[in-house]
Amino acid sequence: MNGKTIKPTRLLLVDDEEGIRKVLKITLESAGYEVLLAADGETGLDRFIRENPDIVITDIKMPGIDGIELLKRIKNLNPETEVIMITGHGDMDLAVKSLQHEAADFITKPIDSSDLESAVKKAEDRMAIGRNIKSYMDDLKILVEEKDKKLNESEKLITIGQTIAGMSHAIKNIAGGLKGSSFVLEQGIEHENRQYLKQGWEMMKGNIDKITKLSLDLLNYAKTTRLNFRMENPNTPAREIVQLMGHKAKEKRINFKFHPSFEKKLTLMDCDSIHNCLLNLITNAFDAFDELPDQDRQRQVTLSIATQEKEIVYRVKDNGSGMSEPVKTALFKEFITTKGMNGTGFGLMTTKKIIEEHHGKIDFNTETGRGSEFIIQLPLKTMDS
């Protein structure tokens, strides 16, 4: 844009009468404006395009492109340009028409120089207001963007805070467990009590396992911020799990079934992280039998994958102990564990975060004593969609 006050405002004056052009040029120049001249509409438009004046003053009645047409074209090229119309005595209709096409003002012939100057001045003021509004809007936009960024950052900080809070609980438990186990071991050594030694040792091993698992969980949680999306067969993240967990299923006498999707469609996903989600859900499903008596029921865990029109649905279903009301309501909302020393509370939080990063949904049904089902829905993002 032109300089604000140092550069004089540039006017383009379009009139087919040479006398008027001359007189007005002198008047306006002596008022401190820079004046460009054009003798007809065509030349006016041409100069407008080449020299981009701030304000245009044009006669309405001209041969060829007349004032109204020129006004329309200029407004089309640059809506911010102020256009002042010069009208003859009886041209009230034309004057009104020009205002409808967003002319800034009109002055009537014979032209009074002070009328002209005040019209130009008004146009200038309007332009200044427009510029101010624009700069306010820009500032506002920057302000909003900054606030948005800050909000995102504080949201992130809240999440980090929650992560640390969840972590400190898990770590305190481990530290407590280690202190407890060393106390039991000391008692065992002091009283030569083999049972104490055995129990203390078991407790210590359990806590070592737990801290190993916690560090792995933390690593997985951290990974969710940089996912690596690729086109994958939705069955791929599940395949390894079936082999991996087959052994454990036998050990826990669980009938573990896998129903893959038969569709050949590929979709955009981070295979490793989806693998982690499924592994987490299946591990949970396997653990759902831990509290149940051995011969209680035929233990079933099923992982099924279905490719639908717009989504991929993973289902992990067990007929284990199900969840109690308080567990149900706290699930996904906080770090909770129902597994005592064996859980960190990170598993489902991480799973939820990964699914959200995929713009998917995770949900569950559960019935106390009858089992639970977790459902992951991922939007199908194929090559052709």
Partner 1 sequence: MTQGKELPKVLILDDEMQMRFYLMTLIKSIGCEPILAKNGAEGLDILSHIKPAALILDIMMPEKGGGPVYQELVTRPDFKDIPIIFFSGVDRDAFFHYIKMLNVTLEHPVPEPAIYVAKDADPEYLKEVIKTCVYKNTP
Residues at the interface with partner 1 (CB under 8 A): 165, 168-170, 172-173, 175-177, 179-181, 183-184, 187, 196, 199, 202-203, 206, 324, 326-327, 337-338, 340-341
Q: What is the DSSP string of 14-81?
A: E-S-HHHHHHHHHHHHHTT-EEEEESSHHHHHHHHHHH--SEEEEES--SSS-HHHHHHHHHHH-TT-
Least distance (Å) between residue 205 CB and partner 1: 10
Which of 27/199 has CB closer to partner 1? 199
Which of 169/361 has CB closer to partner 1? 169
Q: Report phi then psi at 363, rounded to 5.
A: -145, 170
Size of the chain, expressed as the number of residues it contains: 385
Which of 203/376 has CB closer to partner 1? 203
Q: β-strands 230-232, 254-259: how paired?
A: unpaired
Q: Is the dihedral of CA 71, 76, 80, 81 positive or negative?
A: negative
Q: What is the DSSP string of 299-357?
A: EEEEEEEEE-SSEEEEEEEE-S----HHHHHHTTTS---SSGGG--S-HHHHHHHHHHH
DSSP state of 296: S
Distance of alpha carbon 366 from its chain centroid, rounded?
A: 32
Least distance (Å) between residue 351 CB and partner 1: 20
Q: What is the DSSP string of 101-132?
A: TT-SEEEESSPPHHHHHHHHHHHHHHHHHHHH
Least distance (Å) between residue 292 CB and partner 1: 14
The CA radius of gyration of the chain, in Å to the nearest whole number, is 39
Alpha carbon dihedral 180, 182, 184, 190, in 10-degree steps, equals -150
Which of 150/179 has CB closer to partner 1? 179
Which of 195/243 has CB closer to partner 1? 195
Which of 121/172 has CB closer to partner 1? 172
Least distance (Å) between residue 342 CB and partner 1: 9
Q: Which residues of 28-50 are buried (b: 16+ CB within 10 A; e: fewer)?
A: beebebebbbbebbeebbebbee
Which of 338/351 has CB closer to partner 1? 338
Least distance (Å) between residue 274 CB and partner 1: 29
Q: CA–CA separation, 186 vs 330, rounded Å?
A: 38
Least distance (Å) between residue 180 CB and partner 1: 3
The one-letter amino acid code at 311 reads: E
Q: CA–CA separation, 96 vs 294, rounded Å?
A: 93
Least distance (Å) between residue 199 CB and partner 1: 5
Which of 78/342 has CB closer to partner 1? 342
Helix (H, G, I), strand (E, B) or coil at 173: helix
Least distance (Å) between residue 321 CB and partner 1: 10
Least distance (Å) between residue 318 CB and partner 1: 17
Alpha carbon dihedral 305, 308, 310, 313, in 10-degree steps, equals -20
Which of 249/327 has CB closer to partner 1? 327
